[in-house]
Amino acid sequence: MRSILEAHSGWEIVAEAANGKEAIKKALETKPDVAVIDYSLPLLNGIEATRQIRKREPQTEVLIFTMHDEEILIRSVLEAGALGYLLKADAKRYIVAAVESLAEHKPFFTARVSQTLLASFLGKTGATSEHALSPREESVIKLIAEGNGNKEIADVLSISLKTVESHRAAALRKLNLSSTADLVRYAIRNKLVEL
């Protein structure tokens, strides 16, 4: 993907990051026009990275890059502030068009993603209890599933230990679950983490 983007006249790749926390840091330092963020980043996933980048650098548009096209994930990404959503399977064909669109502050979705969004809008897929989770609760669940303890989660998300515990308890309550193992299974089933 990097070689495709670098080959485009007038474009420059200003940074690359290995995890979500680093992606936020580099986006704030370099202030890119478009940030291409992988949904499955370690530490902080693409949704949390998007939320923080958009909040602190609103002129930077975010294109989420993922292999998943589930409605709940698309909805979460858009709610976090991403303006584009590109499936990895479509990357070679659409990456240039996606970045061009976002550089003009216009949304970008492939036909497959648009069909998922349209079906959701028309009510052909039902709202589920997952929608009750806040984005921060999802981030906490993801970090738990990756094996992080409460102190590590507090550090990664820059929140207090008590707030981590509150988000964990709220997620358990909303999902009607009773243990950390249940949260891990939920995270795997709903693709909050990659195996």
Distances in Å between the Cα of 45 and the Cα atoms of 66, 86, 111, 122, 191 are: 11, 16, 24, 28, 11
Residues 6+ apart with CB under 8 A from 71: 116, 117, 119, 120, 125
For the whole model, what pTM was predicted?
0.67
Structural domains present in the chain: 2-121 (3.40.50.2300), 129-189 (1.10.10.10)
At 195 the pLDDT is 64
At 79 the pLDDT is 87
Q: What are phi and psi of 14, to 5 degrees?
A: -95, -15
Crossing angle for the helix pair 161-175 and 135-145, nearest 10 degrees?
A: 100
Buried b (16+ CB within 10 A) or exposed e, 103-126: eeeeebbbeebeebbeebeeeeee
How far out from the chain centre does Cα 120 lie?
A: 19
85 close to 109: Cβ distance less than 8 angstroms: yes
At 58 the pLDDT is 94
At 124 the pLDDT is 56
Residues 6+ apart with CB under 8 A from 179: none
Cα distance between residue 154 and residue 186, in whole Å: 21
56 close to 84: Cβ distance less than 8 angstroms: no
Q: pLDDT per position in the chain (195 positions), as tens?
A: 888 888 888 898 999 999 999 999 999 999 999 999 999 888 888 899 999 999 999 999 999 988 887 777 888 888 899 999 998 888 889 999 999 999 999 999 888 788 877 777 776 544 444 447 888 888 899 899 989 999 999 998 889 999 999 999 989 888 888 888 888 888 888 878 776
At 127 the pLDDT is 46
Q: Please identify which residue in the block is written with the tokens 């409460």.
A: 150
2-47 confidence digits (pLDDT tens): 888 888 888 989 999 999 999 999 999 999 999 999 998 888 888 9
